[in-house]
Amino acid sequence: MGSSEPPLTGSVPSVLSSPEPPGLWQELTSSVREAVLPRRGKLPPPFRLLVRALQTIFPILSWGRRYDWKMFRSDLMAGLTLASLGIPQSIGYANLARLDPQYGLYTSVVPPLIYAVMGSSKEIAIGPVAVVSLLLSSMIQKIVDPVADPISYRKLVFTTTFFTGLFQVAFGLLGFLVDFLSHAALVGFMGGAAIIIGMQQLKGLLGLSHFTNKTDVVSVLSAVSSDIHEPFMHPGNFFIGCSFLIFILTTRFFGRRNRKLFWLPAISPLVSVVLSTLMVKLTRADHSVKQLEFSGSFVGEAAKIGLISAIISLTEAIAVGRSFASVKGYHLDGNKEMLAIGCMNLAGSMSSCYVATGSFSRTAVNFSAGCKTAVSNIIMSLTVVISLELLTKLLYFTPTAILASIILASLPSLVDVAEAFRIWKVDKLDFVACLGAFFGVLFVSVEIGLLTAVIISFAKIILGSLQPRIEVLGRIEGTNTFCNVRQFPMAIRTPKLLTLRIDSAFICFANANSVRERILRWVKEDREMTEENPEERAQAVVLDMSKVMNIDTTGLIALEEVQKQLLSDGLQISIANPGWQVIHKMRLAKFSNKVGEMFFLTVAEAVEACLGLYGKNIRPTQ
């Protein structure tokens, strides 16, 4: 099975003589460069370099050259259809964010225009969304009362939007992946938020004058039960709201049954707003406010809420964008999306807009309407601008029950029971994160639900890293492939060798002791199993470190202790396929000197080398 000469030539120099990996500063600058110039290779002349950078930052300069009349017709239809859904939703979500209706419409004007120029998704539709609107109102109204001091409330909303955009741009430039929330936690968070949003609409649907500012289900139900018998409860609101809710849901049913009627559920919210507003027959104008406030005691709170909003809105937008990009068969660059969404929120904060992101419901409508490029967002924005000129005087008098019914109609898609059941079947710990986020939002608050989701997600990662698996490997007969002998029973263990794989991406202070103990435990178990046949006892240990991407000083100390213990037992240690950072730190810590030349690119090379060494009776490296 082993060769007479171990194949050391070329292997050791390849592993030990690798160049120094990039440091922290190089990693950061590389991330920024990739955000601006993702294509590698020799740098072109200055002018072409500038053009390439501009095309990367503004993708419209790249695909715009191929734009034609046929694509415009598709985008025009999609944009108009999108506006018919986006206008009433924007008004409703502004109400959810405790802002006047026009601010929701402003948020459907400026951010989509910026995204159309900077974004890389062809289908994603930008505007206010329910979850972020609830998040902002639930957190900001604890600091400033939107009824008692609406101007200060608006200032704080716009300042929070500014910080949201600032964080998002930073994430995009530094290449941080916004995966702080696991998919399971996001499913639970969205489901809980959808129920809370729905219960918040009872105020408008029932016409209640007094309502709680809290978002947990107990407080909301208490407020409804205490106010529902009061004389200021309006049955007319309930009748109008339920009637139009049934109308919207009915059009959605027929739209899903017949794909040719995709436009029907898209325009039904707008028809509801127009009809109900005409029924009210009153008119009055509101004026917009455009203010940012960076002084006073609320700036820190704005930054904190902005960070949370940045994470939630980015997570939703990238998830929506990637899902539709996969259907169309193209890749969506997460970093470029973060940069585009951050810039649009920065610009939006300076033009009376609050936090905008990608909306799943509007993106689905945009996709179904046959959009070809992000021009559909521009068409939608221009349509909203026209509606602002024509409808602003009527917006104040749109019945709140209609806004409640529009929001309620958009919520079922946020509660994904089927996905929660699938998570339960696949991963029980993921399901715990899902439930934690769901009940945290439902019974405490939005921010506590979010915090619960993040804590459980990180706890899962920490628990996994604290107890890394050390697996015994065997060779698949007739190949140089080594596999886990428990997973692949046909894999054969190599006589007189103990081949182990460390299944952990990072050996650090949290799991170093566990790694050391488990390696030595396998050595002890091998001795016990071969007690009656000492000639079968392992004479060397091969550590497959292909899955280890990094290691800290505690991890290096643990490996040194393993090497010393094995040496005292007369065993040679061999390292196979260590990561770039791992081998670099082993050289710096002089651990490579202790192991000697027993570094190899593959497990097969390490095994053959050890067998060759023992054939010559060479003792372990001192």
For the chain, list the domains and their CATH numbers.
11-21+467-615 (3.30.750.24), 69-177+232-413 (no CATH)
Residue 483 near residue 528, CB atoms below 8 Å: no
Q: Above 50 in pLDDT, residue 8?
A: no
The per-residue pLDDT for range 510-559, each reduced to its tens digit, is 889 999 999 999 999 988 888 888 777 888 999 999 999 999 999 999 99
What is the reported pLDDT for 516?
Answer: 93
Residue 498, SS3?
A: strand
Q: DSSP string covering 134-155, please? A: HHHHHHHTTTS-TTT-HHHHHH
Indicate if the alpha-carbon torsion angle 213, 217, 223, 224 is positive or negative. positive
Q: Above 50 in pLDDT, residue 5?
A: no
Distance CA 218, CA 221 (A): 5
Token pair belonging to 219: 């407080």
What is the reported pLDDT for 521?
Answer: 92
Which pLDDT band holds residue 37 (cuts at 50, 70, 90)?
low
The per-residue pLDDT for range 185-214, each reduced to its tens digit, is 777 777 777 777 777 777 766 666 666 666
What is the reported pLDDT for 286?
Answer: 32
Q: Which of 76-80, 153-157, 284-288, 319-323 has the highest mean pLDDT?
A: 153-157
Count Cβ atoms within 10 A of the Cβ of residue 609 and give its class: 0-12 exposed, 13-18 middle, 19 or more buried: buried
- Give the N- to C-terminal CA distance of the chain in Å, as an integer: 27
Half-sphere exposure of 564 (CA within 13 A, CB side): 8
The per-residue pLDDT for range 400-419, each reduced to its tens digit, is 676 677 667 767 777 788 88
Q: Above 70 in pLDDT, residue 291?
A: no
Strand order in the sheet with 482-484: 482-484, 469-475, 497-503, 540-544, 572-576, 599-600
What is the reported pLDDT for 527?
Answer: 87
User: pTM for the full model?
Assistant: 0.66
Q: Above 90 in pLDDT, residue 562?
A: yes
Which residue is associated with the tokens 């094995």? Answer: 566
What is the reported pLDDT for 387?
Answer: 82
Residues, the chain, total? 622
Distance CA 90, CA 354 (A): 11
Q: Bridge partners of 126?
A: 358
Which pLDDT band holds residue 232 (cuts at 50, 70, 90)?
very low
CA distance to 120, 165, 318, 377, 384, per residue, from 312 (Å): 19, 12, 10, 22, 25
Distance CA 593, CA 586 (A): 9
What is the reported pLDDT for 280?
Answer: 53
Q: Report the 10 Å Cβ neighbour count for 42.
A: 4
For 71-83, give one letter per residue: b (16+ CB within 10 A) or e: ebebbbbbbbbbb
Dihedral angle of Cα 64, 70, 72, 76, to the nearest 10 degrees: -160
